[in-house]
Structure 1
Amino acid sequence: MSNRDFTEKEIKLLEKNRYTNSVTPKGITYTEEFKLKFVLEYEKGKLARHIFEECGFDISIIGIKRVKSSSERWRKAYYEHGESGLRDSRTDSSGRPRIKELSLEEKYARLEAQHRLLQAENELLKKIRSAERGLNRKELSPAQKFCLIREVIEKYGLKQMVRHLCEVTGVSRSGYYRYFSAPAEGKRNEQEAKDEISRGMILKAFLFKSRKKGARQIKMTLEGHFKVTYNLKRIRRIMKKYGIICPIRRANPYKQIMKATQEHQVVPNKVNRDFKQDIPYKVLLTDITYLYFGKGLRAYLSTIMDGSTNEIVAYHVSDRITMELATDTLKKLKKKRNFRLAKDALIHSDQGTHYTHPDFQKLVKKMKLGQSMSRRGNCWDNALQESFFGHLKDEALIKSCTTLQELKKEIKKYMTYYNYHRYQWNLKKMTPVQYRDHLLKTA
């Protein structure tokens, strides 16, 4: 039987024996009387376990290993020093030799080891706190803690302190050794190699056409252009692991849409947010936005979008917000080759002065288009256009342009990218042009 800890019941039972000096969960000490009796009886040829049993000890509780070690220790002490060798001035009088006085060198080495351990503990806890702050107070995974423990162990040479440092950080010692075992290391190295390959592909899609993208855009670009299929969770894991950050549009809390005191419905809202009618060029959406570029310069972009496919069918850039900004966009649409309006097509806008102006409405009628307008102050009635402008300002390199000509060139490049290369989740993972062709084939 091994030197297991004693239970409370076993301690009480052992304390009742008159030859017991003291009992703790870890061990037992005996009286000098018993130790002397044991040595004398052993010299007569009796077995150690028989002597213990005759004196009222239960070997199944004490354990044969404890009996043997005590027997060897007492006999050696008796042969070397006689009865005095069995005496011990310590409270834990077990017959073991007294602890020798440490030399100055040994004391210094012990203090130095304690100092290194304290340094390692402090550094380890600081690293964990720092890492958790970087994760917005989320607790580190056991694997991350194992790596930090190994780092401080190698730095301070504390190979024997694994158990202690694992307890300090709240992870298991067996988990630590299992994590750094040869099979686990091999599996992680294999996974690391796979992740590096995935990272390369994801970066290609992320930077495709020099436009940064989010996880869903990356997935669609991989499938549509590179013919590679990755799970969304995998893409997000790789992006998080390697710090591939996509531009995220955040709402501006200071920019609020002011509602007019009087609602002036110039033209009824015939669309009623029913943008997706699965018929190309049936519902056209138009709007104007500001573009800030260079050093405090500002331009204006007017666009016409196909509501069913999100394709930008016409646009116009100007440094002046005149009436021609809207009408020139319509004229560009009219001149566009291979453009055929669907039956009962209409154009939808907000109630801005450009769209309520007689010149604009006259041109709309001339093109045989119906007209629809959002309710005043309600951006949701033209949400697709607002969404497009948001993506444009995130993804196009507008601020780096220094002249209007550079800006027009960049907008042209972006429109080509958006229509032909930017896959969209809600368009069955197709680009606007692909989805338009898909609708025309299935019509």
Structure 2
Amino acid sequence: MGTKWFTKNEKLNILKYYKENGWAKTIKKFEISTPTLSRWKKAVKISGEKALEPGNGLQSKGIRRPGRPKNLNFELMTKKELIEYIEMIQDVKKSLPKSKKKKFQTIWSLKKKYKIKYLCKILNVSRAGYYKWFNAGMKLFNKWNNTIAKIVKTLFLTFKKIYGYNMLTLIINKLYNWNLKPHIVYRYMKNMNLKSIIRIKKFNYKLSSGNKRHENIMNQDFSTTDINQKIGTDITYLLTSDKTYFLSIVKDFHTNEILDYQISNNLEKEFVFKNIINSWVKAGKPSTWVLQSDQGFHYTNSDYEKLCNYLGITISMSRCGNSYDNAHTESWFGTMKTEFLYHIKRKKRTAKWIIENLPKYIYFYNNFRPQAKLKGMSPVQYRKSSLQVTF
């Protein structure tokens, strides 16, 4: 198909139509390219309507725009431009991108600080290629999906940056009934520079111990086949702006469900005993419990021994100084504090805030928070599904 020629009057009519209707409609109606229309518009602005006559255009006269230099001419650069160029090289070296899309991403992240033409030259990519990537939606890898990227970022920020790619994968699969793999979510998080909060190191503290010690029956074997088999209990501290409070929990190792919890402003034995009794009643008063605890004074006294004997609970006690023996229960405290407590600075934490919001978190943990060990289900969902299989 040959080149289409236009007379001077036709070009003027096209330009008039363009002023009234814009680029898109003009290009579509007259089947001309954007550069051609732009060239006519520029020619009229510089030389008047005479420039639209055949033979008067720059292309007809053989005048071409000079090509871009293959190398930067440092001799023509000012001192300021040279300093900027050196700083730019240092910034680019920090990331050392390997793939072309990574290079485009580096250019995009530095474009407000440096000129794009210099960045493209350093990274050995064309400006046309960069703008093509930019206009196509800035895809960071071939199978980039903007919907998945948006969901990953939204959930990451919704949960206040506490979850890494493993937990976000479970939540996404649960909410959207997908089957994403963790490495896919990791890839999106890495490319969007989403980093979860690092868990704060545990504070070491020691409590006194009584003289009623028992055998470590579990011996770090926390495996179960059903609910109400192996149970754990422990106490942790809750620091507030004016005082330290204490939290006691009872946890079923089969479902990871928190059966009951109690908060106290002192370390008297009563709130621990109440925690155990409430949990035992909620579980249906079973006679199959093996209750694991540490050697704190709440569990090494005659009252605790009498209570467990009365309820038909077998006592299992971790060895002195061996936190791994009670790790199944203690690990929940780390999860709770990272996902809930540490989001509020200690100066702003009050007893009222803890009493109002801790039940909400435990409800969220029991009823919604998915776990890989539980096949992506929450503790309550897993317990209910186990009961359905049993019956």
Query: Which range, TM-score by smaller chain?
Result: 0.5 to 0.7
Task: Write the distance in 2 (CA, Å) between the matches of 1:333 and 1:298.
Answer: 24
Q: Provide the TM-score with structure 2 as the length reference.
A: 0.68
Residue by residue over 1:276-328, the C-alpha shift from the partner in whole angstroms, topping out at 9 and shown as x without a partner, is: 212111111000000112x2421000000001111000110011111112112
Which runs of no fewer than 5 residues in structure 1 stay unpaired? 1-111
Write the letter of the residue equivalent to 1:319: N
Which residue of structure 1 aligns with residue 359 of structure 2?
Answer: 412
Structure 2 match to 1:431: 378
Q: Between Structure 1 and Structure 2, how many residues are aligned?
A: 312
CA distance in 2, matches of 1:126, 1:226: 45
1:387 is matched with which residue? 331
Residues 1:123 and 2:84 aligned together: yes
Q: Which residue among 210, 214, 219 is the counterpart of 1:272? A: 219
Verify: 1:217 aligned to 2:167, yes or no: yes
Please, which of 232, 256, 261 is the counterpart of residue 315 of structure 1?
261
Q: Is 1:247 aligned to 2:197, yes or no?
A: yes
- Give, in whole Å, the separation in 2 of the partners of 1:203 and 1:402: 28
What is the CA-CA distance between 1:429 and the residue it aligns to? Answer: 1.6
Q: Write the letter of the residue equivalent to 2:325.
A: D
Which residue matches 1:43? none
Decide whether the 8 Å contact of 2:207 with 2:297 is kept in 1.
no
Which residue, out of 303, 322, 331, partners 1:359? 303
Q: How does 1:187-226 map to 2 (within 5 A)?
A: 187=136, 189=138, 195-206=145-156, 212-226=162-176
Identity of counterpart residues, as a percentage?
25
The Cα of 1:332 is off from its aligned counterpart by: 1.9
The residue that corresponds to 2:319 in the other structure is 375
Alignment of 1:441 with 2:377, yes or no, is no
Per-residue deviation, 1:118 = 6.2
Distance change (3 Å), C-alpha of 1:272 and 1:442: farther
Question: Alpha-carbon deviations, 1:230-253, whole Å to 9, x = none?
Answer: 33223223323334332221545x
Match of 1:349 among 293, 306, 315: 293
The 3-state SS of whatever aligns with 2:224 is coil
Larger radius of gyration between Structure 1 and Structure 2: 1
Q: 1:148 to 1:186 in 2, by over 3 A?
A: closer
Q: 1:308 to 1:132 in 2, by over 3 A?
A: farther
In structure 1, distance between residues paired with 2:207 and 2:264: 28
Pairwise mapping of residues 25-424 of structure 1 onto structure 2 (< 5 A)? 114-116=75-77, 119-130=80-91, 133=94, 139-141=96-98, 143=100, 144-145=102-103, 166=121, 169=122, 171-172=123-124, 175-176=125-126, 179-180=129-130, 182=132, 184=133, 187=136, 189=138, 195-206=145-156, 212-251=162-201, 266-293=213-240, 295-336=241-282, 339-340=283-284, 344-397=288-341, 399=344, 402-424=349-371
* Segment drifting more, 344-353 vs 325-334: 325-334
> Partners in 2 of 1:315 and 1:350 — Cα distance?
17
* Distance across 2 between alignment mates of 1:225 and 1:142: 33
Q: Is the 8 A contact 2:207 2:296 kept in 1?
A: no
Report how far residue 371 of structure 1 moved: 0.6
Cα-Cα RMSD: 3.8
Q: Counterpart of 1:353 in 2: which secondary structure?
A: coil
Cα displacement (A) at 1:344: 2.9
1:188-242: CA deviation from partner (whole Å, max 9, x where unpaired): 5466996542233124433567784221111111111332443322322332333
Structure 2 alignment gaps of length 5 or more: 1-72
- Alpha-carbon deviations, 1:84-135, whole Å to 9, x = none? xxxxxxxxxxxxxxxxxxxxxxxxxxxx9725276545424423434655xx
Tell me which amino acid in the other structure corresponds to 2:170: M
Secondary structure, counterpart of 2:233 in structure 1: strand
What is the alpha-carbon distance in structure 1 between the residues aligned to residue 254 and residue 172 of structure 2? 24
Query: 2: distance between equivalents of 1:148 and 1:245?
Result: 18
- Following superposition, the deviation at residue 442 of structure 1 comes to 3.2
**Residues 284 and 307 of structure 1 are in contact (CA less than 8 Å); yes or no, is this contact kept in structure 2?**
yes
CA distance in 1 between partners of 2:219 and 2:114 (Å)? 67
- Give 2:356's aligned amino acid: K
In the aligned structure 2, how far is the partner of 1:211 from the partner of 1:121?
Answer: 40
Distance 2:363 2:289 in 1: 24
Distance 2:105 2:154 in 1: 31
Amino acid at match of 1:116: M
The one-letter amino acid of 2:374's match is L
CA distance in 2, matches of 1:324, 1:408: 18
Give 1:355's aligned amino acid: Y
Cα pair 1:211 1:395 within 8 Å, conserved: no
Cα separation, 2, equivalents of 1:153 and 1:420: 46
Letter in 2 for 1:428: K
Match of 1:392, SS state, is helix
